[in-house]
Amino acid sequence: MSFRFWQSSAVLSLCLLTLALSSGCSDGGGDDGGTQVNPDTGADGSVSGDAPSDDAAIDDTGLGDVGAVDTETDTGPSTDTETDTGPSTDTATGPLPGVSGVATDCIEGDAGTSVCTLPIVLDAPAPEPMVLAVWIESINGEDVATADDDYSFAREGLLPGLTLPYFVGIVRIPTGATRAELAMQVIGDTEVERDETVRFSVETVRAGALPSEIAITEFSATIINDDEAPPITAAMENRLCVEGAAGESVCEIPIRLSAPATVPVRFRAGVDALLSTSEAGVEFRLDRLSYEIPAGASEGVVELVIVGDVVPEPDEVVVLTLELLEGAVPAEINGRGAVISILNDDVLSPVISLPSNLFQHTATTLADGRVFVAGGHNGAGEVATTFFVSADGRSVVAGPLLPEERARHAATLLPDGRVLLSGGLTAGSNVSLSSTVVCDLTVPRCDAGPVMASGRLLHAAVLLADGKVLMAGGVPDYGLAGKLASAERYVGEVPGTPAHFEPAENDMPLARDSMSSIRMLSGEVLLAGGAGVGTGTQLLRYRPGVGFLLDPATLSAARINGTASLLPDGRVLLVGGGDSETTEWVSASSDPSAPLVVTPGPVLTETRYYHTAISLPDGRVVVSGGLFWDPATSILGARSSVAVLGPDLTTWQTSTPLSTPRGQFDAAYLPAAGLIAHIGGSNGVSVSGTMDLLAP
């Protein structure tokens, strides 16, 4: 028996009976007192018996008739011949039936309370009114239910202000009855927990009996947890693995479970060949496919064998798949596989040789990641050669010849993947070319395209949203001072109509060349600055269907041969041009009639023009090289410095410089390699025959 705050549960049970029959008792130690649990009836904790005339019940009448004998209905022993008005003085001598409780499972439920009926049965009909004292065993343990948290009984003190924590109540079974039902209130919740037990002691109390004569039986009720734990989920983590030099290494890919496994978790790993860029069997292996995480563990690993080499190459990706066979389900995020990046740790030579020295050419990034380099000047004259830079930057391959030599032209990538070359100069002439070339690089071949209305070099060539190409301004004759204000549009071929040029809606307000131009998110073309009378600080907008509009906003400094870069937020960054080290932001309002907004940008540490500016996918802008004029020495020079505008777009940071100063060169981003190719150029004295590959 467990401890119960009193010297003896038997003595206390006799006290309760005496209190029920009279008004007090003594435990032999001088302490007087009594208690009565007064549970509610029915769903709140009542007890009922099966006798037809006097139901067995937990007494809820205070000091009333517990133990009183009614001669009209009571068949038990009594010396009274009339209704009993006090406690009986008889002492019963016959044996009482055995008492047992029925172990009962009670469903917990999710919320509120529910009644669980606990049967108490006799092994024979009661020969007299029987009084049972019901207690809760005070046993601690993880599987023991907690009173008032998991279950409850109504408890009221028999005497004012006195309660017993472990006493449930007095159960009366009338003569002839064989059972009673004790109602326990089960408190529901949604917590996932063990099944918990409530242990009871039932003491048969008889008037006049000694404590040693009290019969005690025990039984229990189990509160069954009906809340289901969420399924265990498994996820394979993304991982970065270093390639290493020659030889093999094992890269462990973690598999994490959301909770310790209750049963072994079996899974299978695989490779998604379509999404992986690394070659299975050559650059990696997955020697083992089936795995198991033992019960009780919460993680495992997949072993990926990395085959190292000393070949400089781009980082590669292995996409692993996760097939769960037993014991867990896929997590919502990354539960069906992982992306494993194999980091190339071999040093790529930053300088690649070109087929020839080259500047004043164009470089266009194609849809397949290659860069198409066309025309240019080799230091002795214009050339008609082209070549491709591979997508990883490691190789240079000759391309198709142009119909004629061409330098200082413009290149535009058309929607169908072809490249349009327009204007420029050809060998032995200062007259600008009006001819164009269309290069289909899937063949590959370059053929003569339609002829422009005017010869142009240093002009703007911008792809419009409808697939046409705007040609604006430029120089018609490099040996003369004249400039163009005219504009026209390239129109691609359609069935029945060959490619041709059509005039623009109007001319520019002032003639100019060497301006920065770019298509804005609105579809309008921004033309900033340029060489021409009064044009250096002007901003023009070309609106398809309307024509050129002179914007009232102006630049803070004249910009000639500067750059314009479109940022993800829709702003245009103007960098350098002429003798300016400043930058400016140009943004357009959602109201097309509103003027452009020009604000100062972060200042560069050096002036530059004929430089390049590359917008990266992450929002950074990389400005490289360029020419500068030193008025103190009257010397034209070139720069090798590289500045990167960080994602915060507020500060320029110095990056790895170019291997040689470069101006009048071109640069292109290699998305597969994450590199920028800086191709050719001039340092003001000589022409470069190399290409720098730099990781920004």
Domain ranges of the chain: 9-78+94-224, 233-343, 351-694
Query: Could you tell me what percent of the chain has a pLDDT over 70?
Result: 82
pLDDT band at residue 350 under the 50/70/90 scheme: confident
**pLDDT value of position 211:** 65
Q: Is 404 exposed, middle or buried (0-12, 13-18, 19+ CB in 10 A)?
A: middle
The Cα-based distances of 616 to 101, 193, 526, 535, 566 in angstroms read 79, 53, 20, 30, 10
**pLDDT value of position 86:** 41
Segment 500-529 shows an average pLDDT of 97
Between 382 and 194, name the one with better pLDDT. 382
Q: Is residue 56 predicted with pLDDT exceeding 50?
A: no
Peptide bond into 314 cis (omega under 30): no
Q: Specify the residue for token string 């109504």.
A: 154
Residue 166 Rama label (left phi>0; alpha psi -120 to 50; beta): alpha
pLDDT band at residue 213 under the 50/70/90 scheme: low
DSSP state of 155: -
Segment 192-203 shows an average pLDDT of 89
- In degrees, rounded to 5, the angle at the alpha carbon of residue 392 between the alpha carbons of residues 390 and 393 is 65
**What proportions of the chain, in percent to the nearest 5, are helix, strand and coil?**
5, 40, 60
Torsion sign over Cα 530, 536, 539, 542: negative
Q: Judging by DSSP bridges, how do beta strands 419-422 and 410-413 pair with one another?
A: antiparallel
Q: Is residue 155 predicted with pLDDT exceeding 50?
A: yes
Q: Specify the residue for token string 């119960």.
A: 4
pLDDT band at residue 228 under the 50/70/90 scheme: confident
Ranges 143-147, 207-211, 475-479, 491-495, most confident: 491-495
Cα–Cα distance, 535 to 513 (Å, whole number): 9
Domains 233-343 and 351-694 share a fold: no
**pLDDT value of position 210:** 66
**pLDDT value of position 1:** 39
pLDDT band at residue 226 under the 50/70/90 scheme: confident
Would you state the structure tokens that stand for residue 541, as one six-digit string? 């907008």
The verdict on domain 233-343 having CATH code 2.30.30.100 is no
**pLDDT value of position 209:** 62
- In degrees, rounded to 5, the angle at the alpha carbon of residue 343 between the alpha carbons of residues 339 and 347 is 160
Neighbours of 111 (CB within 10 A): 9
**pLDDT value of position 84:** 40
**pLDDT value of position 315:** 87
Point out the least confidently predicted range of 125-134, 496-505, 596-605.
125-134
Would you state the structure tokens that stand for residue 117, as one six-digit string? 């009926």
Segment 546-560 shows an average pLDDT of 96
In sequence order, which residues have a C-beta less than 8 Å from that of residue 486 and are 6 or more positions away? 453, 454, 472, 473, 503, 504, 507, 508
- Please indicate, yes or no, whether the overall pTM of this predicted structure exceeds 0.85: no
Q: Is 429 exposed, middle or buried (0-12, 13-18, 19+ CB in 10 A)?
A: middle
Q: Is residue 638 predicted with pLDDT exceeding 60?
A: yes
Torsion of CA 402, 407, 410, 414, to 10 degrees: 10
Q: Is 58 exposed, middle or buried (0-12, 13-18, 19+ CB in 10 A)?
A: buried
CATH number for the domain whose boundaries are 9-78+94-224: 2.60.40.2030
Q: Specify the residue for token string 């960080």.
A: 646
Torsion sign over Cα 378, 581, 479, 463: positive
**pLDDT value of position 373:** 98
Question: 527 near 514, Cβ under 8 Å?
Answer: no
Cα–Cα distance, 588 to 420 (Å, whole number): 29
Q: Is residue 254 predicted with pLDDT exceeding 70?
A: yes
**pLDDT value of position 93:** 60
Cα–Cα distance, 9 to 211 (Å, whole number): 9
Q: DSSP string of 548-599?
A: EEE-S---SS--SS-EEEE-TTS-EEEE--TT---EEEEE--SSTTSPPEEE
pLDDT tens for 616-631 read 998 999 999 999 988 8
Would you state the structure tokens that stand for residue 334, as one six-digit string? 């990354």
pLDDT tens for 657-677 read 999 999 999 999 999 888 999
Neighbours of 571 (CB within 10 A): 18
Would you state the structure tokens that stand for residue 302, as one six-digit string? 């997949």
Neighbours of 125 (CB within 10 A): 15
- In degrees, rounded to 5, the angle at the alpha carbon of residue 589 between the alpha carbons of residues 586 and 595 is 70
| 3-state DSSP assignment of residue 332 | coil
Cα–Cα distance, 204 to 197 (Å, whole number): 23
**pLDDT value of position 474:** 97
| 3-state DSSP assignment of residue 211 | helix
Which of 198, 166, 159, 175 minimizes the C-alpha distance to 71? 175
Cα–Cα distance, 271 to 500 (Å, whole number): 50
**pLDDT value of position 17:** 54
Cα–Cα distance, 297 to 262 (Å, whole number): 9
DSSP state of 95: P
pLDDT band at residue 67 under the 50/70/90 scheme: very low
**pLDDT value of position 163:** 55
Neighbours of 620 (CB within 10 A): 17
**pLDDT value of position 309:** 78
pLDDT band at residue 272 under the 50/70/90 scheme: very high
Q: DSSP string of 441-453?
A: TTTTEEEE-PPPS
Q: Is residue 76 predicted with pLDDT exceeding 60?
A: no
Q: DSSP string of 216-275?
A: EEEEEEEEE--PPPPPPEEEEPPEEEE--SSEEEEEEEEEEESS--SS-EEEEEEE-TTT
Q: Is residue 25 predicted with pLDDT exceeding 60?
A: no
pLDDT band at residue 290 under the 50/70/90 scheme: very high
> How many CA atoms lie within 13 Å of 571's alpha carbon, on the beta-carbon side?
17
The Cα-based distances of 174 to 47, 57, 69, 201 in angstroms read 12, 9, 10, 20
Superfamily of domain 351-694 in CATH is: Kelch-type beta propeller (2.120.10.80)
**pLDDT value of position 349:** 57
Q: Is residue 297 predicted with pLDDT exceeding 70?
A: yes
**pLDDT value of position 229:** 79
Would you state the structure tokens that stand for residue 349, as one six-digit string? 């030579």
Which of 161, 216, 233, 225 minimizes the C-alpha distance to 192? 225
The residue type at 233: T
**pLDDT value of position 59:** 43
- In degrees, rounded to 5, the angle at the alpha carbon of residue 260 between the alpha carbons of residues 258 and 261 is 100
Q: Is residue 291 predicted with pLDDT exceeding 60?
A: yes
**pLDDT value of position 46:** 40
Between 96 and 47, name the one with better pLDDT. 96
What integer best gives the mean pLDDT of the chain? 84
DSSP state of 466: T
